[in-house]
Structure 1
Amino acid sequence: MADAVRIAPLFRCAMEVLAEAGRALPRREVMDEVHRRFEFAPEDERPDRRGRPRWQTHLGWKISEAAAVGWVTRQDGWLITEAGLQALKSHAGDELHRELGRQYRLKRLSGQRSRYTDPRWGVILDALALLEPESWTSYGDLAELSGISPQSVGGFLAENPLPSGHRVLRTDGRVSPEFRWADENRTDDPREVLKREGLEFDEFGRASQAQRVTADDFRQMLSDMGAEPATRRAWLVRGSSVDGRDLVPVWLHKESVSLAGASLRPISPPVPRDELRAIVEDDYQHKSYAAREVKLAEFDAFCNRMRPGDYVLTTSQGKTYVGRITGEAEFVHSPDQRSNLRRPVEWLNPTGPVPFAHLPQPLPAKLQSQADVVELTENLAAVEELLSALGLRGGGGPVKPPKELSFPEVSQGLADDLFTDREQLQRLADLLEEDRQLILYGPPGTGKTYIARKLAGELAEPGAVKLVQFHPSYTYEDFFEGFRPVQRADGQLAFELRPGPFRQLVEAARLHPSDPYILIIDEINRANLAKVFGELYFLLEYRDDTISLLYSAESDFMLPPNVFVIGTMNTTDRSIALVDAAMRRRFRFVELHPARPPVKGLLGRWLADRREKDELAVHNLDAPEVLDELNSRIEDHDLAIGPSYLMKPVIYRREDGLQTVWETSILPLLAEYHYGSPPAVFDRYRLKTLRQAIAVRHGAEEAQ
């Protein structure tokens, strides 16, 4: 424990060694000198999991904190700074260590945590601050420690490059292909950097598991430092139908929660996951592989990952009970084999269960999961809100209410940029905010994609907008997630589950639940939508429900409410007519057509603006009238020509500019519409014919 190591005088001793040296010292030299000066107890010298004396591990943590507050630098060794020298001089005895703790806490609160209000991100920052050279951890370990999904951990590290970020690897010890340095100009091979730091790799490029810092290691480190090992977690344990019996009344009476474990041998929790896997494989060999994986996940969560102080929820007859775990798991022989694994629980509302209809979102959907154990830590704010509604203290301090998810008002600047009325753009934003899915459809050249991108950029941050384009060969695996071939270090091919653009957007949205994230799907009707969306098709309409994913192990996946979708459809290929009723029910449809606002008159407004800004725009000023005349001769509403074909400055800087675009863009498109028709059909669309018709009409008007 921390008091056995006597970390305060140990840290002071190390700072004095650095101060006397007056230069950067290698880590090993500092440790050797401290060992020579300091009088250690036998407990201090006990090796940790990686074989290093415990006092060295603790001192390494403190030097990391000192580096964070600017007392020490760790480049080319350890070097005390002027601020460190001043702190050493100003704070006598153990006060130096207390001042370090105070400054480190202030540093964390003013750093990355300010953007990530969920305390679970602080757990990850704490853990990475403890990750020394010669060691590594995995995305999965950080996820298990914090209760955040591995994908979200990866997104967090990609968005917030940290000094120890290169020491976070995949579970097998290989560098993630998604890893990027904070400095985009840096080209070092992260594996070579790790080797120089003392990390060992095998012939296949996998880091030594002996040097891995697991979630349990982090918990012990944080506990030894006197910190909370992790944030409070929340769990659902299902008890309303255990082999046909409702155990919830029993749990409430006996103040406990349990799992059946009918075929499980007697165990002494906690049990390492690898050992637990072997037990499950043996004891449940009569079950399918999928069933054994489910059992392993449930037993691991119940025996190893739950901790005293965590919240536990259960349901019975459409009502919810919430409690707090008060003790460790134990194996008890159950006569009916329905409750062999048990934990003590303090039930907080045993006589006042909450109906599903009164639960904060997204708990109603989460509590309908079919799994016996479901982690709800990602929805901890909703659990705290439930406790507050019950008049109960959560135990985690006051919960700051999240910022309300909403779109900003559409600015007049965007309206001016798009040469349209602000009210029309605001209507699009309101439709998207209300239904979360919107489709802009119309003939080519009406600015569907352009408007979608501009509007999305107005409503969300640039990093929160992603664009994909559908095509006939686009699949679920391309869009959401699927197994992809990767080449291992030994040259062999393997398959890994890789996220697609929509999964990446969803995980990013989970990091910032109060900020809108927008996916733009260009040409959405060109793909087989049912095939591409798969089970996600259901969630487009039922945002408050959960589903099981096709490839991932998640059984309670739901689309975050801050994910929005804008699709575009071209009406010329007639595929919009094939969009089924289910698709139409999930999206709001808004037509962009040359004969209707906001597209109507757009070319004239744009050209007037260009004439004010560009003196060269002097030719072909009749283009808006020519375009209107053309569309009046196209009988099919869906085959009209949009103004974007003519919104190119070069057309108005050259005398033959309009003729060129007419011959190379517009007439070929019309020829496609009238495929097989005699050539005379196209005479009515030629530029000369249209201008003659306009001149005749103007002459008739003047004569009147």
Structure 2
Amino acid sequence: MAFADHIGSLLRTTLEVLRDADGPITRRETFDEVERRAEIAPEYLTTDPSGEPRWRKNLGWRVMEAAALGWVTRRGGWSITEAGLQALEDYPGSELYRQVTVQYRAKHQSGKKYADPRWAPVAEALARLEAGSWTSHVDLAALNGTAWNSVYGFLSEQQPAAAHRVLLNDGRISDDFKWPDPQRTDDPREVLAREGLEFDPAGRADPAQRLTADDFREMLAELAPESPIRRAWLVRGSSVDGRDLVPIWLHRQSASLAASSLQEIAIPIERDRLKAMVDENYQHKSYAAREAKFAEFDAFCNRMRVGDYVLTTTQGKSYVGRIAGEAVYTSSSDKRSNLRREVEWLNATRPVPFAHLPQPLPAKLHSQSDVVELTENLAAIEELLAALDIVLDEPVEPARELAFPEVGEDLSEDILVDRGELQRLADLLWENKQLILYGPPGTGKTFIARKLAGALAEPSAVKLVQFHPSYTYEDFFEGFRPTLRPDGQLAFELRPGPFRQLVEAARQHPSDPYILIIDEINRANLAKVFGELYFLLEYRDDAIGLLYSAESDFTLPPNVFVIGTMNTTDRSIALVNAAMRRRFRFIELHPGLAPIKGLLGRWLARLRHDDELAVHHLDAAEVLDALNARIEDHDLAIGPSYLMKPGIYRRENGLEEVWETAILPLLAEYHYGSPPSVLDRYRISALRRTLAVPE
């Protein structure tokens, strides 16, 4: 029987077990009863790295799909619902499993993150990416103004036929490339070569066969002459050469930029020509001032569109409107409003105090620029309009509220940690955004962090990095990296690090939590690694300028969370605590404290039940407790994970081996410089003699 058919049969048996139960039962109890009722083929009894049989792991996923359809509930344990009972009756035989698959996929597809209209240009471009041509993530991202790394998520979710023709910016195939069909094993380079794509000896595709963002824009011009994306902007008018122009804007239904030194221009204007004119007309200004002017004029003249939102402020109050006309150049007598746009101000008589603005808009107001893009904060602006009872032309679907799911019993059973303790960790992370798990080695800090993050966020929204002494800001957030251009010249490009990638992905999906796990967080120079981001860890509602990017108002989205792990045997922890106590909550994981206390005993009890071969050294928990009782330094205790490997208990001398090769060398390091005999008190034979003496 095929594996899918076998799991389908077991799913029916699972629902029947839940139907026959007197009340909610645990996952383990459910599967134990399934195993008693159904015959499990030997080839499906193999275990995964965690030691769980393959059939249980896969059946667990199918039950979760049934729960998503409302057939099963997990409150206080597993139990079947009325919908599940009806499904058992309506779908005989293998049809039950087929319906779970079909209905779950339909429900999942309806909630796709990348199905919104802003991704339409990318989808259209990929539909026209024919064999023998290629493009890059950067080119596709430019079509809708999103981050280049978010294109990976779009390709993974939407699975377009041309996904294999999307390469890295230098023409190489991404090391992370995977076919949508997991059964497909073709070499993507060979497929592209058969389609007519040419590669150089270094594996870079021919630049002449590349379709750029400009190529796609020209190709799609007839279909979408205007960008389908509604953007939002902050335009300052409260102090233009010492005068507050906002009352005039409200009266005249307009907004403007001074552009006092800019010669008359025809709008729209090519960016290169605009930059040349700014450099010429503002040559008396510093290069930084010229760059700022160019960015403001380009945004006002070229990037803004009729229908975009615009926000302005004056005297502690905020006004929001919609752009109603194209940009025009007008000779202003006072040189304070040469560039103008018509604006329909929506709350001219009902200004909103700064204190009442939804987050993160207050932080954006700290920017020093006269024009600031607020597109990533559209949800906050629409929330503001809703609070003002302003009716929009089209209904706005309310955003799903950001929240952590409740920690379930499944996770508790999986890692043998009390559900209440796990929920406490989740609540602390939600409240404080940053959390550090610290303790001696072997206490499962990283393991628990990863399991908890996996329960609170989608797998694609969890990223792990490990700090070390040479780790830098450039490695962590962003920095310039050498790259070889198509013409063979070496250049430097600003490349995002893992934290920036996570932040940009979080901005795209504000209703979903994103979690960064920093393993060994105290191993690096934190001031060097975080730089100005250190400020944002404490002041989440504020903004700050970045070291390398032109952004002057960078913020951390509220859906970004950080979990760090810290080893207490590293004595630098005291210095780290002094610098980080305001930014993180610290949770100790210690062999003598909950939730780690007794963990090895619980794990051995499960092993005793699940693995008939594991019959040796079942006194390991008592021996470990005796060892830690002899270690005088609280921070140097030995955690249970050293002994939580099934193979140890299948060999007669397994425990002695791990003791001699892992635990005693660690203790020898702690007692460096002491006579070798000091280790005798920690040897397993000495500890067992202690346990044999009656108390």
The question of a shared fold, defined as TM-score above 0.5 by the shorter chain, is answered with yes
Find the counterpart in structure 2 of residue 32 from structure 1: none
1:430 equivalent in alignment to 2:434: no
Q: Which letter maps to 2:278?
A: V
Contact 1:251 1:257 in 2 (8 A): yes
1:229, CA displacement in angstroms?
Answer: 4.0
Find the counterpart in structure 1 of residue 563 from structure 2: 566
TM-score normalised by the chain length of structure 2: 0.77
Find the counterpart in structure 2 of residue 369 from structure 1: 367
1:600, CA displacement in angstroms?
Answer: 0.8
1:192, CA displacement in angstroms?
Answer: 6.0
Q: Which of 390, 393, 408 is the matching residue for 1:392? A: 390
Quote the Cα distance in structure 1 between the aligned partners of 2:540 and 2:585.
15
Q: Which of 656, 659, 663 is the matching residue for 2:656? A: 659
Quote the Cα distance in structure 1 between the aligned partners of 2:538 and 2:398.
27
1:310, CA displacement in angstroms?
Answer: 1.6
Alignment CA distance shift 1:158-1:245 (3 Å): farther
Structural mapping, 1:295-694, within 5 Å: 295-395=293-393, 397-694=394-691
1:535, CA displacement in angstroms?
Answer: 1.4
Quote the Cα distance in structure 1 between the aligned partners of 2:615 and 2:111.
56
Of 591-600 and 203-212, deviating more is 203-212
Q: What is the DSSP-based 3-state SS (H/G/I as helix, E as strand, rest coil) of the residue aligned with 2:518?
A: strand
1:161-209 per-residue CA deviation (whole Å, 9 max, x = no partner) reads: 43455777889x9678689475574423798689669xxxxx9954489
Q: Which letter maps to 2:587?
A: V
Contact 1:158 1:180 in 2 (8 A): no
1:139, CA displacement in angstroms?
Answer: 6.0
Quote the Cα distance in structure 2 between the aligned partners of 1:167 and 1:630.
58
Alignment CA distance shift 1:693-1:196 (3 Å): closer
Structural mapping, 1:190-209, within 5 Å: 205-207=206-208
Find the counterpart in structure 2 of residue 258 from structure 1: 256
Q: Which letter maps to 1:187?
A: P
Find the counterpart in structure 2 of residue 56 from structure 1: none
Q: What is the DSSP-based 3-state SS (H/G/I as helix, E as strand, rest coil) of the residue aligned with 1:497?
A: strand
Q: What is the DSSP-based 3-state SS (H/G/I as helix, E as strand, rest coil) of the residue aligned with 2:465?
A: strand
Quote the Cα distance in structure 2 between the aligned partners of 1:420 and 1:111.
34
Number of residue pairs the alignment of both structures matches? 581
Of 204-213 and 607-616, deviating more is 204-213
1:243 equivalent in alignment to 2:244: no
1:135, CA displacement in angstroms?
Answer: 8.5
Identity of aligned residues (%): 69
Contact 1:120 1:148 in 2 (8 A): no
1:475, CA displacement in angstroms?
Answer: 0.6
Q: Which letter maps to 1:623?
A: A
1:134, CA displacement in angstroms?
Answer: 9.1
Alignment CA distance shift 1:257-1:494 (3 Å): same
1:512, CA displacement in angstroms?
Answer: 2.1
Q: What is the DSSP-based 3-state SS (H/G/I as helix, E as strand, rest coil) of the residue aligned with 1:573?
A: coil
1:213 equivalent in alignment to 2:211: no
1:276 equivalent in alignment to 2:274: yes
Quote the Cα distance in structure 2 between the aligned partners of 1:685 and 1:691.
10
Find the counterpart in structure 1 of residue 93 from structure 2: none
Contact 2:131 2:196 in 1 (8 A): no
Quote the Cα distance in structure 1 between the aligned partners of 2:189 and 2:477.
31
1:160, CA displacement in angstroms?
Answer: 3.7
Quote the Cα distance in structure 1 between the aligned partners of 2:314 and 2:373.
18
Alignment CA distance shift 1:550-1:275 (3 Å): same
Find the counterpart in structure 2 of residue 57 from structure 1: none
Q: What is the DSSP-based 3-state SS (H/G/I as helix, E as strand, rest coil) of the residue aligned with 1:257?
A: strand
Bigger Rg, which one:
1
Alignment CA distance shift 1:232-1:331 (3 Å): same
Q: What is the DSSP-based 3-state SS (H/G/I as helix, E as strand, rest coil) of the residue aligned with 2:569?
A: helix
Alignment CA distance shift 1:652-1:190 (3 Å): closer
Contact 2:301 2:327 in 1 (8 A): yes
Q: Which letter maps to 2:352?
A: V
Q: What is the DSSP-based 3-state SS (H/G/I as helix, E as strand, rest coil) of the residue aligned with 2:606?
A: helix
Contiguous gaps of at least 5 residues in structure 2? 1-106, 199-203
1:121, CA displacement in angstroms?
Answer: 2.5
1:340-375 per-residue CA deviation (whole Å, 9 max, x = no partner) reads: 111111211112111112122222222332211111
Contiguous gaps of at least 5 residues in structure 1? 1-108, 198-202
Alignment CA distance shift 1:293-1:207 (3 Å): farther
1:415, CA displacement in angstroms?
Answer: 1.0
Of 407-416 and 526-535, deviating more is 407-416
Alignment CA distance shift 1:305-1:455 (3 Å): same
Quote the Cα distance in structure 1 between the aligned partners of 2:230 and 2:623.
68
Q: Which letter maps to 1:579?
A: V
1:334, CA displacement in angstroms?
Answer: 2.0
Contact 1:603 1:643 in 2 (8 A): yes
Alignment CA distance shift 1:541-1:117 (3 Å): farther
Q: Which letter maps to 1:685?
A: Y
Alignment CA distance shift 1:266-1:532 (3 Å): same
1:138-179 per-residue CA deviation (whole Å, 9 max, x = no partner) reads: 7667656534344445653465443455777889x9678689
Quote the Cα distance in structure 1 between the aligned partners of 2:210 and 2:415.
57
Of 553-562 and 174-183, deviating more is 174-183
Contact 1:441 1:568 in 2 (8 A): yes
1:211, CA displacement in angstroms?
Answer: 7.7
1:124, CA displacement in angstroms?
Answer: 3.7
Q: Which letter maps to 2:267?
A: P
Contact 2:503 2:557 in 1 (8 A): yes
Contact 1:443 1:571 in 2 (8 A): yes
1:234 equivalent in alignment to 2:232: yes
Contact 1:606 1:647 in 2 (8 A): yes
Quote the Cα distance in structure 2 between the aligned partners of 1:439 and 1:161.
37
Contact 2:143 2:213 in 1 (8 A): no
| Aligned Cα root-mean-square deviation (Å) | 3.1
Q: Which letter maps to 2:414?
A: D
1:461, CA displacement in angstroms?
Answer: 1.7
1:490, CA displacement in angstroms?
Answer: 4.0
Alignment CA distance shift 1:370-1:136 (3 Å): farther
Quote the Cα distance in structure 2 between the aligned partners of 1:329 and 1:209.
34
Q: Which letter maps to 1:375?
A: E
Contact 2:132 2:209 in 1 (8 A): no
Quote the Cα distance in structure 2 between the aligned partners of 1:275 and 1:249.
33
1:54-112 per-residue CA deviation (whole Å, 9 max, x = no partner) reads: xxxxxxxxxxxxxxxxxxxxxxxxxxxxxxxxxxxxxxxxxxxxxxxxxxxxxxx9978
Contact 1:381 1:399 in 2 (8 A): no
Quote the Cα distance in structure 2 between the aligned partners of 1:584 and 1:553.
31
Quote the Cα distance in structure 2 between the aligned partners of 1:428 and 1:347.
46
Quote the Cα distance in structure 1 between the aligned partners of 2:669 and 2:277.
67
Structural mapping, 1:104-253, within 5 Å: 114-116=112-114, 118-126=116-124, 128-129=126-127, 146-153=144-151, 155-157=153-155, 159-163=157-161, 180=177, 182-183=179-180, 185-188=186-189, 205-207=206-208, 213=214, 217=218, 220-223=221-224, 229-253=227-251
1:586, CA displacement in angstroms?
Answer: 1.1
Of 184-193 and 332-341, deviating more is 184-193
